[in-house]
Structure 1
Amino acid sequence: MKDLEGLFKHFVKDIYYAEKQVLKTLPKMARKATSEDLKEAFEHHREETEEQIENLEKVFEILGLKPRGVTCDAINGILDEGKEIMEEAEKGDTLDAGMIAAAQAVEHYEITRYGTMISWAQTLGMTEAAELLQKNLDQEYAADEKLSKLGEDSLNREAA
């Protein structure tokens, strides 16, 4: 990581690892959700995450690299917190509210990573990579908004 391109390559590997871990976790969250709307949101985002991984694989191709992640301690910690909530939160609305919070922590991490990577790709003249990353960022913002709406419209009040 001696220059911006090196940092960019590292972050691509980092977010690739993160998306792969999220892909493994979303089905577990969908199974635990008691709200049908939340279950559907997790299932829909699993499909989007598959698309995001494909977009990242295209970025690897642009960079001339084999798709490979590097361990991301940040996402591992966020996902561990989510597992703790799924194991310890009271079933029903309380569990759903906790899973929304855990899922939003993941979304916010991804949003910061994608935002930075898009800026770097543009600086490096990697327009196609920036466009692929922007698609992922747009999906992350939409997922975060959907989770906020679910929490604010009903689940948070019901958990109270």
Structure 2
Amino acid sequence: MDQMNDLKALLKHDVQMLVSVEDQIIEALPAMIKRATSQQLKKALDEHLNITKRQRQRLDQVNQLLGASEEDATRYSGVLATLMGGTKCKGMDGIIDEGEKIMAENLSEEVMDAAIIGACQKVEHFEIASYGTARTYAQELGLAQVQQLLQQTLDEEYMADQELTGLAEQRINQRAISGAAMSGSIMPGSRTL
């Protein structure tokens, strides 16, 4: 096992993790779209699925520009890490797992939509942190094209997060509050976080 000893190697590693992140999201989003009841939410998630597929292709461009190879993904991992799925992003795996668990609960339609938005925003925040880090590494390394491609995706992730916040604040969270008030779960006029 080699030792990772430069920032470019760390950037290549982070990009491999981002590939895993995007692949996991592409796999998970259709279930969220199916469970959503708000047509606006379904539309937003469907549009983001298409954007995510383009982001995944953009990462292939980044890997090309970096001269990354399949071997780069496991070069610095021990044999056990490689056998246990060394290139799968465990952070995103956990976030998606939590989202799947909440969607498996017995939730009203209104609360389900709010839960889906919450799960999606956790995904977006993880991506914002990850893309921001990789973009900064590329900037520090003077890799302008790589930096630009990563910045483009970072901007899209910020926009997705803002759109989800807008949907939550404009309608979906209020519907979830109203649904809970009607079922007697909260007192009308009480405040929740």
Aligned equivalent of 2:26? 23
Unmatched tracts of structure 1, length 5 or more: none
Cα-to-partner distance string for 1:1-31 (whole Å, 9 max, x where unaligned): 3221111111000011000000111111111
The answer on 1:32 being equivalent to 2:49 is no
The answer on 1:76 being equivalent to 2:79 is no
Q: Which amino acid aligns with 2:151?
A: Q
Runs of 4+ in 1 over 4 A off after TM superposition: none
The answer on 1:53 being equivalent to 2:70 is no
Aligned equivalent of 1:107? 124
Q: Is the contact between residue 89 and residue 98 of structure 1 (CA under 8 Å) also seen in structure 2?
A: no
The answer on 1:6 being equivalent to 2:9 is yes
Q: Distance in 2 between matches of 1:60 and 1:39?
A: 32
- Equivalenced residue count is 160
- Tell me the secondary structure at the aligned position of residue 71 of structure 1: coil
Q: Which has the higher helix share?
A: 1
Q: Distance in 1 between matches of 2:46 and 2:152?
A: 19
Deviation of 1:91 (Å): 3.2
Q: Distance in 2 between matches of 1:36 and 1:57?
A: 32
Q: Distance in 1 between matches of 2:92 and 2:134?
A: 16
The answer on 1:148 being equivalent to 2:165 is yes
Cα-to-partner distance string for 1:40-98 (whole Å, 9 max, x where unaligned): 01100000001100110000001112466811110000000000111114131100000
Structure ID, larger Rg: 2
- Tell me the secondary structure at the aligned position of residue 104 of structure 2: helix
Q: Which amino acid aligns with 1:23?
A: I
Q: Which amino acid aligns with 2:143?
A: M
Q: Distance in 2 between matches of 1:70 and 1:13?
A: 7
Query: Which of residues 76, 80, 85 is equivalent to 2:102?
Result: 85
Q: Distance in 1 between matches of 2:48 and 2:137?
A: 26
Aligned-residue sequence identity (percent) comes to 41
Q: Which amino acid aligns with 1:104?
A: Q
Q: Which amino acid aligns with 1:58?
A: Q
Q: CA RMSD in A?
A: 1.3
What TM-score comes out, normalization by structure 1 length?
A: 0.96
- Tell me the secondary structure at the aligned position of residue 88 of structure 1: coil
**In the superposition, relative to structure 1, how do residues 124 and 108 fare at CA in structure 2: closer, same or farther (>3 Å)?**
same
Unmatched tracts of structure 2, length 5 or more: 74-85, 178-193
